[in-house]
Structure 1
Amino acid sequence: MVKMIGAVLILFAGTMIGFQQAARFAMRPRHIRQLIHALQRLETEIGYGYTPLPEAIERTAEHMQGAMRAMFQSVGDTLQSDKECSFRECWEQAAASHWPRTAMKAPERASFIRLGSSLGISDRDDQIKHLRLAVQQLQAEEEAARDDQARYEKMSKSLGVLVAALVVILIV
């Protein structure tokens, strides 16, 4: 009886680990798409609204959800509260504190950080060019993330169940 309960618990745990990994593969393209929308909104605020960067960041945060909202709010809050902190430092601090809550990986983070080092130090047109470049890079990463999702999502679910079944067989 105890072995049976243990086997069921192991199967359940292995299955949940597989499904959790599959969910990360599914969330990555969604998070990249949210970041792309945030940057496009930021581009609109800067380009067409002639909005100053700190205010544009705050307005962008208002229209985001989840980790993206927290990341942009963090940049805006740090810009307003710490006058000695440069935009780049605020951007990097927000990325460091909020990036682990996303399913995005190192290439997306590198594009995000690179963008932060170029915003706030040039004129409006140059900032728009940098935003568009970051969006293009993220769109390429989104395509790769969708490929990974199609390739690995189902495999992760199956692998979780199969590894748990193997452990149960080896124990029993």
Structure 2
Amino acid sequence: MMLFGCIALIAGCGSMGLWLAQRIRRRPEELREFLVALTLLDTEIVWGSTPLPEAFSVLKERTGAPWQSFFSELQKRLERGEPASTAWNEEIVLQSSRFCLKQEDWRVIRDIGKGLGRSDSHEQHKQLQLVSRQLSMLKDQVGIWAEKQAKMWSYLGFLCGVAGVLILI
């Protein structure tokens, strides 16, 4: 019976470590997917002269799970007549818990909302390019950090389980 308890403790702590490692690894993926969405948004605004609700509709169809919901809600809010910057910032607050991004990531993403829908397409293009460069640099830094942290949490989870077993024995 004690053997099963020891195995369960190690497995439980190890799975917690693996879960945390998986969340850490998702952060650079979410940033990468947002960069692709940002490029699509820039293309829709500048070259397609697409209104923002329609541009967000295109983005929701071309992005994955967490971003799809984000852009879908933005589209609905803009169709109801809300200002783009208000809708952008409020959706960040409402949906940030669905993502594995940190506050520093959201700070950069929040900057997009400041000029969204307020200026001409040329100015919005400049702003989207600036944010895109900032996120690209951030993504590179996060990728290196995430790999190290994910390995650490993977090992640490199992090691904590083993330490717990040793303490109980």
TM-score, L = length of structure 2: 0.95
Q: Give me the identity figure in percent.
A: 26
Cα distance in 1, alignment partners of residues 133 and 163 from structure 2: 44
Cα distance in 1, alignment partners of residues 116 and 26 from structure 2: 27
Partner of 1:56: 55
Query: Amino acid of the residue matched to residue 53 of structure 1?
Result: L
Cα distance in 2, alignment partners of residues 139 and 67 from structure 1: 19
Partner of 1:70: 69
Instruction: Give the C-alpha shift of residue 150 in structure 1.
Output: 2.6
Partner of 2:164: 167
Count of paired positions = 169
Instruction: Give the C-alpha shift of residue 34 in structure 1.
Output: 0.4
Q: How does 1:1-172 map to 2 (within 5 A)?
A: 1=1, 3-81=2-80, 83=81, 85-172=82-169
**SS of corresponding position for 1:130:** helix
Deviations 1:50-90 (A, max 9, x none): 11122112111111110101001110111112x2x321111
TM-align CA RMSD: 1.1
Instruction: Give the C-alpha shift of residue 95 in structure 1.
Output: 1.2
Could you list the runs of 5+ residues in structure 1 that have no partner in the other structure? none
TM-score, L = length of structure 1: 0.94
Could you list the runs of 5+ residues in structure 2 that have no partner in the other structure? none
Contact 1:42 1:57 (8 Å CA) reproduced: yes
Query: Amino acid of the residue matched to residue 132 of structure 1?
Result: Q
Contact 1:91 1:116 (8 Å CA) reproduced: yes
Contact 1:57 1:73 (8 Å CA) reproduced: yes
Query: Amino acid of the residue matched to residue 126 of structure 1?
Result: E
Contact 2:52 2:78 (8 Å CA) reproduced: no
Of stretches 98-107 and 68-77 in structure 1, the one that deviates more from structure 2 is: 98-107
Deviations 1:5-52 (A, max 9, x none): 221111111100111111112111110000000010000001111111
Of stretches 28-37 and 147-156 in structure 1, the one that deviates more from structure 2 is: 147-156
Cα distance in 2, alignment partners of residues 6 and 118 from structure 1: 57
Contact 2:26 2:100 (8 Å CA) reproduced: yes
Query: Amino acid of the residue matched to residue 37 of structure 1?
Result: V
Contact 2:88 2:113 (8 Å CA) reproduced: yes
Cα distance in 1, alignment partners of residues 75 and 90 from structure 2: 11
Cα distance in 2, alignment partners of residues 148 and 53 from structure 1: 34
Instruction: Give the C-alpha shift of residue 151 in structure 1.
Output: 1.6
